[in-house]
Amino acid sequence: MQYALLIYTKPGAVEALSPEEAEELSRDYWALRDEPGILGGAGLQPVTTATTLRLADGKPVVTDGPFADTKEVFGGYYVYECDNLDQATEMAARIPALRIGGTIEIRPVRGKAN
């Protein structure tokens, strides 16, 4: 099965890191990218760079800012291939965002069931 591991952090948590702490987290994120089973992933630029698109009256409308439905900030993701949810959970538990109070959402990818 393939799972998306979606990474959320509290607003300001990433910005509050010292350069050394940010460097350490970054190294750990890249190290996870090399784990067997990790098919891909991306770290996103800060929320200040976000743009939102919706349809209004059938036409696309662009506005500044993230889709702020949650208080938490969506910061990136991994795609992980493994046998079951427990294995996906073990991998998710290693994501550095957790160390700074973040949350990981684990969701199966469509069409990739066992």
Check binding of 31 to another protein (CB under 8 A). no
Q: Is 39 in the site for another protein (CB under 8 A)?
A: no
CA gap 9, 100 in Å, rounded: 8
Count interface residues toward another protein (CB under 8 A). 14
How far is C-alpha 97 from the chain's CA centre?
A: 9
Q: Locate 64 and state its tokens.
A: 């500044």
Among 83, 94, 99, 101, binds another protein (CB under 8 A): 83
CB 104 within 8 A of CB 12: no
Q: Per CB under 8 A, does 23 bind another protein? A: no
Site track 43-82 with another protein (rule: CB under 8 A), x = hit:
----------------------------------------
Rounded Cα distance between 77 and 114, Å, is 22
